[in-house]
Amino acid sequence: MIRYFYTLLLFLLSPILLLTLYKKKPGKPSFGARWKEHFGVTPPLKDQLQSPIWIHTVSVGETIAATPFIRALKQKYPNIPIVITTTTSTGAEQASKLADVAEHRFMPIDLPFAIKGFLRAIKPQQMLIMETELWPNTLHYVHKYGVSITVINARLSERSALRYKKFQPIFNLLSENLDKVLCQHQEDAERFIRLGVTPERVKVTGSLKFDISVSEESLKSGEQLRSQLGKKRPVWIAASTHQGEDEQVLNAHKLLLEKYPDALLLLVPRHPERFDDVYLLCEQQGFNAHRRTSTIQTLSILTQVYLADTMGEMMLLLAASDVCFMGGSLLGDKVGGHNLLEPAAVGLPCLIGPSYYNFTDITNQLTNAKAAFICKNTDEMTAHLTSLFSSEEQRLTCKKNAFTVIQRNQGAVQKTVSNIQLL
């Protein structure tokens, strides 16, 4: 009865949800004619000789995190086709980088006719869901179709667990269809079990995000960019900032310039639709700002803010920096932070605001190792930046500590792959 009510509600709300999904935004790839895939009009795979493995990764972040796992899984099962689904067009763009090992399709909306259409076209033998993207109808019909469902890299914060506890029947509706839940940490596993998932279905395999590797191409491109920016000047990056954080970051940079007049801020808004607004904000604040995509402006030693108005270049930008502040962490409970592992993997000292509940374990490990530092406000951010830029030795120590944390936690890819058994 709960699922029927949910289906009716989703059907009524779907026009609004789809309008938001399809809305054109600067820098956002178009869905084009592929919008039909959201309704289950899904083209069959090029290779349908065997039933494929279906991996759902939602959007960009999950696709990036799943990439080493997908490649390792293909190595283990080279003859089994893999299909990756994402909901967003930016996720599709990221998935296209895996075209040598997997095909991409858009995830059908969670309505019965769309899910059934996808299943008829793709005929998967197993579904792997990245993290905790659980949809009632998808789980119900995939399970009914006889397809094994495994959640990989599963995480469940205490906050989410308490919310699910209040609506236990809804969680039961989801969890009864799951064959395995492969968790990032022991705490996640304990929360799933506490909510009623039987212990034999739950395992701890570690976080796939720790099995991160930085390509030589990214490092080389970062080095080339740094030569353009200025090798000797202090350069810091504010990554994945949200509305309401840019002002705080720019205020910190203004204070930093008093100590280091040649300091440069690489500002990377999380959402491409905000690029124009953030550039306007930089100008209004009186900064000499340069847009990465500009063919008119001249980048010089006088440039104070470098606005990275592109997508998919985060590793390159990090590799061109000395220190990283991670956004999504200065807005109270609205966002809950972003992943510090990418800057840590490049060897950058990391700064983060006080709200990081989405990445509590990763952040705590890095802060305990003194590879990352929590900034409650602009003044603390400026103080940490000043301290780090005044001591190359401190920055090198942070780099060493970050590498130690990452190496200590690696191995999740192989543990996860070993728990995927195909027919």
35: left (phi over 0), alpha (psi -120 to 50) or beta: alpha
Model pLDDT, residue 27: 66
User: Where do the domains of the chain lie?
Assistant: 19-211+411-418, 216-409
Model pLDDT, residue 423: 64
Q: Which residues contact 103 (CB under 8 A, 6 or more apart)?
A: 45, 46, 81, 82, 83, 84
| CA 237/CA 246 separation, integer angstroms | 12
Query: Position 26: which residue type?
Result: P
Residues with a catalytic annotation lie at 62
| CA 421/CA 423 separation, integer angstroms | 7
| CA 122/CA 114 separation, integer angstroms | 12
Q: Contact at 8 Å (CB) between 369 and 397?
A: no
Tell me the CA end-to-end span of the chain in Å, nearest whole number: 33
Fold type of domain 19-211+411-418: Rossmann fold (3.40.50)
Report, in angstroms and rounded to the nearest whole number, the Rg of the chain calculated over CA atoms.
Answer: 22
User: Most distant CA pair in the chain: distance in Å?
Assistant: 65
Model pLDDT, residue 48: 78
Q: Do domains 19-211+411-418 and 216-409 have the same CATH topology?
A: yes
| CA 403/CA 347 separation, integer angstroms | 7
Residue whose C-alpha is closest to residue 380's, from 252, 266, 236: 252
Q: Measure the CA angle with vertex 397, ends 395 and 400; round to 5°.
A: 110
| CA 39/CA 377 separation, integer angstroms | 45
The CATH number corresponding to 216-409 among 3.40.50.1220, 3.40.50.2000, 3.40.50.720, 1.10.10.10 equals 3.40.50.2000
Confirm whether pTM is higher than 0.85.
no
What tens-digit pLDDT sequence spans the chain (423 residues)? 788 888 898 889 888 888 888 787 766 778 888 999 999 999 999 977 899 999 999 888 889 889 999 999 999 999 999 999 999 888 888 899 999 999 999 999 999 999 999 999 999 999 999 988 889 999 999 999 999 999 999 988 888 899 889 889 889 888 999 999 999 989 999 999 999 999 999 999 999 989 988 889 999 999 999 999 999 999 999 999 999 999 999 999 999 999 999 999 999 999 888 999 999 999 999 999 999 998 887 889 999 999 999 988 999 999 999 999 999 999 988 999 999 999 999 999 999 999 998 888 899 999 999 999 999 999 999 999 999 999 999 999 999 999 999 999 999 999 999 999 886
